[in-house]
Structure 1
C-alpha cells in the first residue's frame, strides 16, 4: 500500500500528459501531402460537376451545385480560441450563417465554441481528427479519424454531422485517382463530401481586399467559399469578412448553411444515450488533461526558478563560506578545550556500537561518553559494558524513543557542552574538537557537523553520497551564511546544555527531533553554525526499502517541524527572522522543490515521445550540467573524488523519482491525518572511520570507500532509537 497512492498519482499525471499529446496531434500527426495523380478513374460528371459530392448508397455518385445568388461560407481547421469567436461575432453582426469544418483535436479542446456554432444556427462538418491526407491512410485509420471527430462533436454539442471535407482538398476538377476512392469510401460511411468553388486564399494572408476579391463569384453564381478560422493569424480573414458580408448582401447574395442553400434536411443529428455520455466523458477528460498539463507547466516553471535560485545561492554563499573559513583571522573566539559529554542513543545497534564507542576513545579532545540503551533486545548495552573503556558508561531505559533517550542522557551529562551522535556512526579523532570550537562564541547554541556516508560502495550508497555532498553539505554552507541552519544532523551535532534546557530539551512532537530542536534554538535567539571539518562516518540504507522508510520518516518529520514552528512567520526578533527567512527556504528547497523536481524528467519523457525532441533533450542536459557544476564544486570543497559523479545522470533519472514518491506519500499522510511509525533500519556495521577503525568490509578486503552526509532532505540523522507511532 505504501507505493499505491503515490504510484496512482504518478500514473494519472502521465495519462493526462499522454492524452494531451494525443489531442494535440503530437503522436499520430501525418503532414504528408500527396502529389497530383491521374484522373482517368474519376467519373466525368464528378470532375465537371459541382463542389458537393454525394456518394452515399449503392447508386452512382452525384454532384450538386449551389444555386445562384447563394453563398456558403466555409471555415476550416478550427475552432480556434482567438479567431473563431471573432469570426462568429462578425457573422452574427450581419445575420449570416456558415459551415465550420472542425478537426477533432480542436473541437475536443474548445467544445464551447462548437456549441456556440450550433446554438447560433451554423452547420458543423467533419475535417478529420488531426488533419492527415486520407489518401495516405488505411481504411481503419480513416474510420478512426471520422469516429473520433464525431465523438468530439457529440461531447461538445450533442450532435452528429453528415458533412465531411477532406484535409488538403480543393475543387471538384482536382479530384484524381488517389482522392476519388477515399471520397467513395467516405460516402459509403454515410457522409457528403463538401469541396469548394472559390478559395479565398486567406491562408496566404494577401490582405483583406484580396481575400474579399478571391471570394467573390462572377455573374451572380452561387458558390462555396473556402476560408479558415484557425491555423495561424486570421486577422485578415476577420477584417475581410467585415467588408465582404455587407458588400455581397448589397449585391443580392444570401449567406446560408449548405443544407439551407440546397433545400435539404439539416446535416445535424442529435446524439443521445450512451453515445452522448461517451462524448461528454471524452471532452471532460481532455479538459482535465489540459488543466493538469497547464498546472504541470506552471510547476515546471516553479521548479526551474527554484533550481536556478537554489544553485545560485549555494554556489555564491558556499564560495563566501569557504573564503571565510580559510581566512587567517577567522575564529570563533578562545579555543575550546573543556571536556565534552558525548551522548549515543542506541536501540539494537549491536553491529555498530563497538566501532562507535571505540572511535570516541580515539578522540583528541577530552570526552565523557554516555550510551543510552533504549530498551535494546540484542545485547547492545552488554557489548558496550564488555568493552570496559574508561569514561564510557551505559544508561539503560525501557524503550521510550530517541528524544526520551537523549533527554535522559542530558540529565546524566556532566558537562556544559554536549555532542550527540547515532549508534551507527563513527567519529574521526578530530571530530569532537572541531565540532565544539564554534562555542568560543557565546552566541552559538548548536553546531552541525559534516556527516559522511561510509558505505558508498553500493549504487544506492553512491547516489546518497552525491546527494549529501552536493545537497546537504553545500546547503549547510548556504544556510550557515544566511544564519538559518534548519537542522543539526542526528549523526553529528553539538549543543550547549543551557540552550537545550531553555527550549525544553528534545521534543517528541515530531519524527524529525533534530530539525525540531534546531528550529526551536533559532527561535530562542541562538546561533546555529556549521563545522565542515567535524566529520562523522555513518551507515546509509543499502536497499530501496530501507531508504524509502528512512526518507519517508524524515520528510514527514520535516513537515511536522515546519508546521509546529509556523508561528515564527509572524513573530518578532530572532524567531521572526528565522520564520521569514529559514522557514520559507526550508519549505521551498526541502519540500516543494523535491516534490516538483521529477517534472523535469516527466517532461523529458513527454518531449521524447511527442517532441520537440532536440529542444527537450537540450533543456534536460542543461539542467544536468548545472547540477554537475554544483556537484563538482561541492566535491571539491569536501575534498571528495570526482569519480563518484559518473553515476550522476542515472541518479537524476531514478533517485529523484524515488524521493518524489516518498514526499508525495508524506504529503498524503499529512493531509489525511495518518500516523507514521518509526521504522528501525537494519544495520550491518559496515562503516569504520578511515585510518582508525576498519569496517567489516575493509577487514574482508572489499576496499569500501567513504562518502558524504547521512542527513536527509530534513537533515535528520540516521539513528533509529524510536519505534513508537507519532502523530
Structure 2
C-alpha cells in the first residue's frame, strides 16, 4: 500500500462556479415552496373547473310536494313577480296582451347566440335568467346579450335548489353569480329566479323563507304563468301551443336556451313570436312589467314621479319613458341592472379571468395526461418485451463478449468523509476474484477517511491499495485524479459507500472483450432494504433502473453508468476530457460523451454492487434532487447530440428523446394524474377512479414482479409498492419539479455528502 499526499497549498478564493453554487444552495427553500405553490395552483384550477361544472359542491336534490301553510294566499294566488318594497311582499301580474319572454339556464355557446339572433331579427326583448358558472365560462355571450338590450337575472351559480341550502351557501350562490355578471358585462341585477321553480302556487314552506331573505336583500323573484316545457322536446308545434296564454291574458313565459338540446326551442321561437304578434301581443321584459304597473298606479292616484326600478328605488341613468317594447329598451342599463363599480367590478373580472384560465388549462391538461398515460403504458410494454429479450440473449450458454478479460484493472474509489463505509468497501474489494489495483482518492476529508483506509488495507494485507489525498475539489476531480494515476487500461469506478461481491469486477470487465465497448454499467443493489426508505428504493432500483438499463442496452442508448458501479476504457475517458465538472450528474455526462465519441455502452446485470439508501427523507430529497437536476444539466449540455450523424448520433436520435420524455416530462405530469385521480374519486365516480388506479398499480406490479424475477429478488418487497406509490413517488415528483424550477432559474450545487451508517456489507452467502 502506498500513500500520496499533495503539498500543502494556500486556500484558494472561491471560483465563479462555487459562488454560483452558494447562491443556488440559498435558493433551495424558495424553489421548494415555488414547486408546491405551482402544484397548489393547478389543483385550485381543477377544483374551480369542477365547481363550474357542478362536480364540486353539486347538489341534485329537488324538493317537491311540500306544504305551503306558511305562505300567504296573496302570494300563492298572485302574479308571477314578487317584489318586497318596504319589506312587504306583493305580486305583480303581466298586463293583458303582453308577453314577458324569459329564458332559463344559459348562456349556452350553441343555442343562446341563435336565440339572440332571432330576438334581434324580430325586435323582441327578453329576460334571461343566467347560471353564474355558465356566465363565467361564456362572458362574451352575456355581454352581447346585455348590449342588445335584453335583461338578465340570477339563476344561482351552480343551479341548485336553494331550499336545501344553508344561508351561507345561498349568499355564496347569489354573490358569485353577481360577480360573474360584473366581470362579463359590467352589471349586477335585482332579478332572481330559483332553479326548479314554476308558478307562485308552488311556493312552499321551505322555499318561502329563501324568497323573503332574498327580498330583504333587494331581489325581485320571478315565476312563470305559462311553461313551454321545451325541455321535454315535444316538437315545435307543442312548444308554441304550451307557451301560448289563454284568451288575451298576459303571461310570463318560460323557455330554455341551455340545459340540454334546445334545437326545438330555437325552431319554435320565431314561430311563437310571429303568432303572438299576429294576435296583437307586445313583448317586454320583467322590469317592463313592473314599470307598467308602477305607471298605472301613479296614473290612478294622479301623481307622477321619477322612474322607478324593479324594487322601487330611483335608478340613475334610466330615462323616463324607456320601457316595454324592445325599440325603446336599447339602453345597456335596464331597469333591473346596476352598473358594477369598484371592488365588485374588479373581483368579477378576476373571476372571469380565473375561469378562462381553468377553461383552457384543464382540457389541455386532460389531453396531455391522456397522451402521457398512453406513452407510459407503451413504455411499460416496451420495457417488458426488450427486458425479456435482453435476459434471454445474455443468459444463453453460447453467449460471449469475446475472449475472457483477465488482465488487471484499476478500481477508483473517490471518498469524502467516508469513515463509516471505507473499511467495508476495501474489505469487499480484497475478496475480488479479478486482479485489481485500488486507488482511494480522499477528496479533502475531515473525518480521517484516508487514515482508516490505510489501516484497513494494512489489516487486510492489501499491497495493491494506493491512497491519494487532495484538497477538496469535488467528485469529478477526485475521479479524474484516479484515472490519471491508474496503471491499467480499464478503470472501474465505485462510490466510497459501496461494496462489491467477490465476482463483481470480473463480471463487470468482460464486455471489454468487444473492442466497440467503451463503458459498462453494473447492477446497483440497495443493501439496507430492511428500512422503509430502503425498501422503496430497492423496488425503484430493480424496476426503474435495472429494467430500464436492459431496454436501453438493446437500443444502444444507455443514458447513465451509475456512480456506484461502472467500468470504462481509460483511453475513452481521457478522449472525452475526463469526468466533467459542468454538471452534478458526472456519470450521466460522461456516459453521453462516450456515446457521442462513437463507443458502445452496455449493461452487465451479473456485476452487482451493494449501496446504502439514504437514512432519512431529507437525505433522500438531497440525493434525488442532485440526480434529477444533474441529469437535466447533462441533457442540456449534450443537446447537440440530437443532430449528431452516424453511429455516434444514436443516443441523440433514440436515447435523448426517451430520457427527456420518460424521466423528465412524464414524471412532471405524474402529480397531476394523481390529483385528477383523487379529484375523480371524491367528486365524480369513486368506483371507476379507484378501479383505474388499481389497474395502473396492477400493471406496475406486473412489471416490478418481472424485474424482480430477472434479478432473482424476493417478491415480498413488492408488498411495499402500494405505499411507495402513495408516498415515495409523490416525493420524487416534487423533487423533479424542484429540479425543473432550479433548471429554469439557474444555479449549481457541488458534490453533496449524505450521512452514512456503514451498515451495508456484502450480503451473506454472496461471494
TM-score between both structures, scaled by the size of structure 1: 0.91
Q: Which of residues 270, 273, 281 in structure 1 aligns to 2:342?
A: 273
Gaps of 5+ in 1: 695-727
1:83 and 1:230 in contact (8 A); partners too = yes
More off after superposition, 82-91 vs 503-512: 82-91
The CA distance in 2 between the partners of 1:686 and 1:562, in whole Å, is 34
The CA distance in 1 between the partners of 2:112 and 2:614, in whole Å, is 59
Shift of residue 586 of structure 1?
0.6
Gaps of 5+ in 2: 1-27, 293-308, 310-334
Residue 704 (structure 1) aligns with? none
The CA distance in 1 between the partners of 2:67 and 2:37, in whole Å, is 54
Residue 495 (structure 1) aligns with? 568
Residue 629 (structure 2) aligns with? 556
Shift of residue 44 of structure 1?
3.5
Q: Which of residues 50, 61, 72 in structure 2 aligns to 1:43?
A: 72
Q: Which of residues 367, 384, 395 in structure 2 aligns to 1:315?
A: 384
Residue 731 (structure 2) aligns with? 658
Q: Secondary structure at the match of 2:58?
A: coil
Q: How does 1:440-459 map to 2 (within 5 A)?
A: 440-459=513-532
2:522 and 2:561 in contact (8 A); partners too = yes
The CA distance in 2 between the partners of 1:327 and 1:252, in whole Å, is 96
Q: Which of residues 412, 419, 425 in structure 2 aligns to 1:356?
A: 425
The answer to whether the aligner puts 1:392 opposite 2:473 as a matched pair is no
Shift of residue 165 of structure 1?
0.7
Q: How does 1:322-361 map to 2 (within 5 A)?
A: 322-361=391-430
The answer to whether the aligner puts 1:125 opposite 2:153 as a matched pair is yes
1:359 and 1:692 in contact (8 A); partners too = no
The CA distance in 2 between the partners of 1:489 and 1:250, in whole Å, is 86
Q: Secondary structure at the match of 2:604?
A: strand
The CA distance in 1 between the partners of 2:123 and 2:392, in whole Å, is 76
Q: Which of residues 703, 716, 723 in structure 2 aligns to 1:643?
A: 716
The answer to whether the aligner puts 1:378 opposite 2:447 as a matched pair is yes
Q: Secondary structure at the match of 1:419?
A: strand
The CA distance in 2 between the partners of 1:22 and 1:179, in whole Å, is 24
2:157 and 2:174 in contact (8 A); partners too = yes
The CA distance in 1 between the partners of 2:636 and 2:666, in whole Å, is 18
- Cα shift readout 1:646-692 (whole Å, capped 9, x = no counterpart): 11111111112211221111111111122323321111111101137
Q: Secondary structure at the match of 1:429?
A: coil
Q: Which of residues 81, 87, 91 in structure 2 aligns to 1:58?
A: 87
Q: Secondary structure at the match of 1:676?
A: coil
- Cα shift readout 1:140-175 (whole Å, capped 9, x = no counterpart): 433332222222222222212111111111123333
More off after superposition, 416-425 vs 151-160: 151-160
2:556 and 2:650 in contact (8 A); partners too = no
The answer to whether the aligner puts 1:539 opposite 2:612 as a matched pair is yes
Shift of residue 453 of structure 1?
0.7
2:523 and 2:605 in contact (8 A); partners too = yes
The CA distance in 2 between the partners of 1:139 and 1:512, in whole Å, is 58
The answer to whether the aligner puts 1:23 opposite 2:92 as a matched pair is no
Q: Which of residues 668, 677, 681 in structure 2 aligns to 1:604?
A: 677
The answer to whether the aligner puts 1:96 opposite 2:124 as a matched pair is yes
Q: Which of residues 24, 32, 35 in structure 1 aligns to 2:61?
A: 32
Shift of residue 40 of structure 1?
4.5
The verdict on how the C-alpha distance between 1:678 and 1:112 changes in structure 2, with shifts beyond 3 A counting, is: farther
The CA distance in 2 between the partners of 1:138 and 1:367, in whole Å, is 79
Shift of residue 502 of structure 1?
2.2
2:501 and 2:766 in contact (8 A); partners too = no
Please identify the structure whose Cα radius of gyration is greater.
Answer: 2
More off after superposition, 394-403 vs 434-443: 394-403
The CA distance in 2 between the partners of 1:404 and 1:39, in whole Å, is 87
Residue 654 (structure 2) aligns with? 581
Shift of residue 434 of structure 1?
1.0
The CA distance in 1 between the partners of 2:277 and 2:749, in whole Å, is 75
Q: Which of residues 117, 139, 144 in structure 2 aligns to 1:116?
A: 144
Q: How does 1:497-512 map to 2 (within 5 A)?
A: 497-512=570-585
Q: Secondary structure at the match of 1:534?
A: strand
The CA distance in 2 between the partners of 1:496 and 1:425, in whole Å, is 21
Shift of residue 262 of structure 1?
4.3
- Cα shift readout 1:176-221 (whole Å, capped 9, x = no counterpart): 4443343333322212111112211111122233222222233343
Residue 707 (structure 1) aligns with? none
Q: Secondary structure at the match of 2:85?
A: coil
Residue 622 (structure 1) aligns with? 695
The CA distance in 1 between the partners of 2:378 and 2:367, in whole Å, is 16
The verdict on how the C-alpha distance between 1:410 and 1:678 changes in structure 2, with shifts beyond 3 A counting, is: closer
Residue 223 (structure 2) aligns with? 195
- Cα shift readout 1:378-415 (whole Å, capped 9, x = no counterpart): 22122222222121212222222211221221112121
The verdict on how the C-alpha distance between 1:235 and 1:657 changes in structure 2, with shifts beyond 3 A counting, is: same
Q: How does 1:663-678 map to 2 (within 5 A)?
A: 663-678=736-751
The CA distance in 1 between the partners of 2:656 and 2:607, in whole Å, is 26
The verdict on how the C-alpha distance between 1:26 and 1:381 changes in structure 2, with shifts beyond 3 A counting, is: same
The CA distance in 2 between the partners of 1:325 and 1:422, in whole Å, is 27
Q: Secondary structure at the match of 2:100?
A: strand
The answer to whether the aligner puts 1:524 opposite 2:552 as a matched pair is no
Q: Which of residues 286, 303, 308 in structure 1 aligns to 2:355?
A: 286
Residue 227 (structure 1) aligns with? 255
Residue 720 (structure 1) aligns with? none
The CA distance in 1 between the partners of 2:69 and 2:480, in whole Å, is 97
More off after superposition, 5-14 vs 356-365: 5-14
Residue 304 (structure 1) aligns with? 373
Q: Secondary structure at the match of 1:628?
A: helix
Q: Secondary structure at the match of 2:566?
A: strand
The CA distance in 2 between the partners of 1:657 and 1:583, in whole Å, is 25
The verdict on how the C-alpha distance between 1:224 and 1:521 changes in structure 2, with shifts beyond 3 A counting, is: same
Residue 254 (structure 1) aligns with? 282
Residue 466 (structure 1) aligns with? 539
The verdict on how the C-alpha distance between 1:173 and 1:429 changes in structure 2, with shifts beyond 3 A counting, is: same
Q: Which of residues 105, 108, 112 in structure 2 aligns to 1:84?
A: 112
TM-score between both structures, scaled by the size of structure 2: 0.87
Q: Which of residues 244, 259, 266 in structure 2 aligns to 1:238?
A: 266
1:624 and 1:649 in contact (8 A); partners too = yes
More off after superposition, 25-34 vs 653-662: 25-34
The verdict on how the C-alpha distance between 1:646 and 1:217 changes in structure 2, with shifts beyond 3 A counting, is: same
The CA distance in 2 between the partners of 1:239 and 1:168, in whole Å, is 24
The CA distance in 1 between the partners of 2:453 and 2:223, in whole Å, is 92
Shift of residue 242 of structure 1?
4.2
